[in-house]
């Protein structure tokens, strides 16, 4: 299957988090494809609206003449004239054509999308933003007990169940200079409520920044179940949402 992926690079740096699917049935010419993933606790929200043309299996032409509303508030349009041509990957930070710089999304919100096309067709969609959860960390002993082997017990990241979260991603960074984050392990997909760190991912003497990203049902349906449409009526693509938890690990003093 030919897939079209886009990367979310706002708080992640190497995370694939969306795609436009190959059609599973004949698609009307000039159909819309919408990609919108809302980010909780941030102001800037964005959407990419493109069109399928002919027998193409991804939306390669930006659709700049539509009216896009989020919870009844119209998004600004930043027209894109470039054509997305057979790219396996594109930068969602740049390749969006509708946005709002001051739309704050809160964890637990229900958000509704409405798109009125230039042809007066109406597309609608809804996402329920995952709630915040408690994110905890089980610390192994810095020095094994006399009865233990020299192999240190690796810690486990745990979090509570979020009613609206259907999948999770764990990213691990080392603390760099200032606000710098050095990737250790990113893009780890999890479907339960814990992640066991490997010895390659954790040294108890090093500072770490752990990031847990919760994705809603629509994102899960689109990415994992490979559906052409998730959360939308009248177009292909996805309206989804994500909520991020963070945890800093600072080594205990001797």
Query: How far apart (Å, rounded) are the C-alpha atoms in residues 180 and 116?
Result: 42
Residue 157 lies in a domain: yes
Place of tokens 């067709």: 121
pLDDT of amino acid 252: 81
9 and 88 assigned to the same domain? yes
Length of the chain equals 254
Are the CB atoms for 75 and 99 separated by under 8 Å? yes
Residue 91 lies in a domain: yes
Residue 221 lies in a domain: no
Residue 254 lies in a domain: no
82 and 51 assigned to the same domain? yes
3-state secondary structure the chain: CCCEEEECCCCCCCCEEEEECCCCCCCCCCCEEEEEEEECCCCCEEEEEEECCCCCCCCCEECCCCEEEECCEECEECCCCCECCCCCEEECCCCCCEEECCCCCCCCCEEEEEEECCCCCEEEEEEECCCCCCEEEECCCCCCCCCCCCCCCCCEEEECCCCCCCEEEEEEEEECCCCCEEEEEEEEEECCCEEECCCCCCCCCCCEEEEEEEECHHHHHHHCCCCCEECEECCEEEEEEEEEEEEEECCCCC
Residue 68 lies in a domain: yes
Give me the mean pLDDT over the 23-44 stretch: 76
Phi/psi of residue 141, each to 5°? Answer: -70, 140
55 and 176 assigned to the same domain? no
Is a pLDDT exceeding 60 seen at residue 196? yes
Give me the mean pLDDT over the 229-248 stretch: 94
119 and 25 assigned to the same domain? yes
Is a pLDDT exceeding 80 seen at residue 241? yes
pLDDT of amino acid 56: 67
99 and 171 assigned to the same domain? no
Identify the bridge partners of residue 83 per DSSP, sorted by sequence position.
61
25 and 100 assigned to the same domain? yes
Q: Which has more pLDDT, 53 or 22?
A: 53
Query: How far apart (Å, rounded) are the C-alpha atoms in residues 82 and 182?
Result: 33
User: Domain range holding 172?
Assistant: 135-214+245-249
125 and 182 assigned to the same domain? no
Range with the poorest average pLDDT among 17-26, 30-39, 70-79, 127-136: 17-26
92 and 20 assigned to the same domain? yes
103 and 150 assigned to the same domain? no
Residue 151 lies in a domain: yes
Residue 192 lies in a domain: yes
159 and 193 assigned to the same domain? yes
Give me the mean pLDDT over the 78-94 stretch: 71
126 and 10 assigned to the same domain? yes
Residue 226 burial by CB count (10 A; 0-12/13-18/19+): exposed, middle or buried? Answer: middle
pTM score of the predicted model = 0.82
Query: How far apart (Å, rounded) are the C-alpha atoms in residues 243 and 134?
Result: 12
Give me the mean pLDDT over the 50-72 stretch: 86
Q: pLDDT for 87-139, tens place per residue?
A: 445 566 788 999 999 999 999 999 999 999 988 999 999 999 999 999 888 76
**Count of domains observed in the chain:** 2
126 and 141 assigned to the same domain? no
Residue 220 lies in a domain: no
Query: 73 pLDDT band (50/70/90 cuts)?
Result: very high
């Amino acid at each position: 299957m030919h897939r079209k992926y886009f990367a979310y690079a706002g708080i992640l740096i190497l995370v694939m988090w969306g795609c436009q699917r190959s059609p599973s049935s004949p698609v009307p010419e000039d159909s819309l494809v919408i990609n919108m993933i809302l980010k909780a606790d941030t102001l800037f929200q964005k959407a990419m609206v493109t069109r399928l043309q002919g027998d193409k299996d991804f939306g390669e032409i930006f659709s700049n003449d539509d009216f896009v509303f989020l919870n009844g508030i119209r998004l600004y349009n930043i027209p894109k004239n470039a054509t997305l041509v057979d790219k396996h990957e594109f930068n969602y930070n740049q390749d969006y054509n509708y946005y709002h710089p001051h739309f704050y999304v809160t964890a637990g919100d229900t958000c509704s999308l409405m798109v009125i096309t230039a042809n007066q067709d109406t597309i609608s969609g809804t996402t329920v933003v995952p709630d915040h959860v408690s994110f905890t960390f089980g610390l192994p002993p810095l020095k094994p007990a006399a009865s233990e082997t020299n192999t240190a017990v690796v810690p486990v990241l745990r979090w509570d169940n979020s009613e609206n979260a259907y999948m999770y991603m764990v990213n691990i960074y080392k603390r760099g200079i200032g606000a710098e984050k050095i990737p250790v392990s990113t893009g780890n997909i999890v479907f339960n409520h814990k992640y066991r760190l490997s010895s390659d991912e954790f040294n108890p003497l090093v500072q770490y920044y752990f990031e847990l990203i919760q994705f809603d049902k629509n994102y899960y349906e689109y990415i994992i179940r490979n559906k052409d449409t998730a959360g939308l009526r009248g177009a292909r693509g996805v309206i989804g949402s994500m909520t991020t938890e963070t945890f800093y690990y600072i080594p205990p003093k001797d």
